[in-house]
Structure 1
Amino acid sequence: MSDLPLADLDAFTAVAQERSFRAAALKRGVSASALSEALRRLEQRLGVRLLNRTTRSVTVTEAGERLLERLTPALGDVALALDQINSFRESPAGTLRLNVPTVVAMTFLPPLIGAFLKKYPDITLEVRGEDSFIDVLAAGFDAGIRYDERLERDMIAVPIGPGEQRYVTAAAPSYLADQGEPLHPNDILDHTCIRHRFLSGAMSPWEFERGDEVLRITPPARLIANTVELEIRAAIDGFGIIRTFEDFLVPALAEGKLVPILEDWVSFFPGPFLYYASRRHMPAPLRAFVDFIKQNR
């Protein structure tokens, strides 16, 4: 059995870990049918069933669990050995997978990764923008970008992007002409607002700061959405007050489509961090990205 194709063993590991051909295919960048064919070949060569498949689920057999237990560290060693060859290349190669918040993906990250990809033409970058808080390593990412209060303690954190950001409150001129301008955060309770709901279902209260004074309110909502573009469009159209990252609102504020309000109640907070696991050997694409970030701060 020593001549078993490494690619078929890797395919089995991917499907067994994900418990899904489709999820494993997305993660590997191949088709689900290709993985299915690899599993068929492997099971035929071994003469034993490794996975139980139905139209709704994939489960690992006892034999499959035994194989997965031994294969996972072995394939990890193979990947590490191959990646170490990168140190002999003129330019590192491979895939770098990042998980980032939506605000990062929409604001400062695009020009940053553009410069990075130009510098490292042999690196493929995969970026997923989402606002749910997940274990990025368990989900197959090499690193994540998060704000300080969401960083895991056993991670290395490197500042990335602006050192400070802020939340601002704004409304359309038409809304303020019809409803008046709130002069204090508590006045917002008498207005209609546009609020953001995270994919987790959470909808955070609005927090205002002025000096040492901190106020948290739960404003009445005219619109609740999880799409920033939709929320900003609704605010521009005069359907309510919006409070969000200043970065999102800069174009609308610059064009006068939105007007800042409660400017003495702006909340400042530290910028985001790139974070990754502490380990002796870092994959070459991640090492290149970390070095690039440090050089361009």
Structure 2
Amino acid sequence: MAANLTDLHAFLAVAHSRGFRDAARTLGVSPTTLSTTVQRLETSLGIRLLHRTTRSVTPTEAGHRLIERLAPALGEVEAALAAINGFRDRPAGTLRLNVPVSAARLVLPAILPGFLALYPDIQMEVVAEDGFVDVLAAGCDAGVRYDDRLEQDMIAVPIGPRVQRLAIAAAPVYFKHLERPMHPRDLLRHRCLRGRFGNGALMSPWEFERDGETVRIEPQGPLIVTISGAMDLAVDMAIAGVGIIALFEDWLRPHFLSGALVPVLQDWWPSFPGPHLYYSGRRLVPPPLRAFLDFIKLANEKSTEGSGQ
């Protein structure tokens, strides 16, 4: 009974993607080739690892057990091989990050240009999704998440802005025949554009705070979008006057500056801590990740000095 690393990586990719087509796209091979590879692995092991139907691909009980033990083990192998780069003049290799869409849009653009310029031998691979993710099982070196979504037993390092705000906004045309909300509860009489997380949960309730008072409401409206991939659609609909949107202040700021959107209930906008980069402390830290950690820690120090804290 034998299996090579290529076949094991292929199996993990299919199990994580829950399908051969997406996994094949990630690995740069055809779905047929990938299916043949996984079948070869199952044959060599003498056991079925995946349930296959026309609609889905899911791990069998044996497949789940293999994933639990295999993902960390392959991570150690990759880290050990990457450690060889430490003997080079500069860190090299691939750094894989799993981040929420908001971080890909609002945090990484301020960081990656300087980092990639400083380390030209490092290739970044960024996967943007908003659900809970086991970064090791997903084949990533590290992830970016907010406090309430950090995995346990992980080392977390602040990345990006330390404080962010949730902004409420609408287009001027929306208020042409409607009164502006003066209190968060007034939103219950308005059309609100809402978001749904990848796990199916609505981004609800909307929470507001001012002078020690906290107000939570359950907004209603004509449009719900998936946060991981369709928030730009919600922004476009807000600009078109369809309804009121709640989103990161930094995301909406360009539209405030252009006048396409206007702030709503600005005195009530809640603040929350910024995101963290997190990674496993139970494995060797690959040189590309170590270089990235050093880079963002230095950026954090400069930001603290600049703010006078």
TM range (shorter): 0.7 to 0.9
TM-aligned CA distance change 1:234 to 1:91, over 3 Å: same
TM-score under structure 2 length normalisation: 0.81
> Residue 207 in 1 paired to residue 210 in 2?
no
Partner secondary structure for residue 111 of structure 2: helix
Query: Contact 1:14/1:24 (CA < 8 Å) preserved in 2?
Result: no
> Residue 254 in 1 paired to residue 253 in 2?
no
Tell me the number of residue pairs that the alignment of Structure 1 and Structure 2 aligns: 289
TM-score under structure 1 length normalisation: 0.83
Structure showing greater radius of gyration is 1
Query: Contact 1:185/1:262 (CA < 8 Å) preserved in 2?
Result: yes
Distance 1:66 1:149 in 2: 27
Quote the residue 1:145 is aligned against. 144
**CA RMSD, 1 decimal:** 3.2
Distance 2:31 2:297 in 1: 38
Partner secondary structure for residue 278 of structure 2: strand
Match of 2:293 among 287, 290, 293: 290
Shift of 1:59: 7.5
- For 1:6-21, list aligned pairs within 5 A: 9-17=4-12, 18-19=14-15
Unaligned runs of 5+ in 1: none
Matched letter for residue 279 of structure 1: R
Match of 1:238 among 234, 237, 241: 241
Shift of 1:293: 0.8
Distance 1:77 1:99 in 2: 18
Shift of 1:241: 1.1
Quote the residue 1:93 is aligned against. 92
Query: Contact 2:75/2:136 (CA < 8 Å) preserved in 1?
Result: no
TM-aligned CA distance change 1:119 to 1:34, over 3 Å: farther
Give the % identical residues. 52
Shift of 1:82: 2.2
Query: Contact 1:160/1:293 (CA < 8 Å) preserved in 2?
Result: yes
> Residue 124 in 1 paired to residue 95 in 2?
no
TM-aligned CA distance change 1:260 to 1:12, over 3 Å: same
Matched letter for residue 271 of structure 2: F
> Residue 218 in 1 paired to residue 218 in 2?
yes
Shift of 1:207: 0.5
The answer to which of 240-249 and 132-141 deviates more is 132-141
Distance 1:195 1:55 in 2: 33
Distance 2:67 2:222 in 1: 51
TM-aligned CA distance change 1:189 to 1:12, over 3 Å: same
TM-aligned CA distance change 1:69 to 1:206, over 3 Å: closer
Quote the residue 1:190 is aligned against. 189
TM-aligned CA distance change 1:115 to 1:34, over 3 Å: farther
Match of 2:276 among 273, 276, 281: 273
Query: Contact 1:16/1:59 (CA < 8 Å) preserved in 2?
Result: no
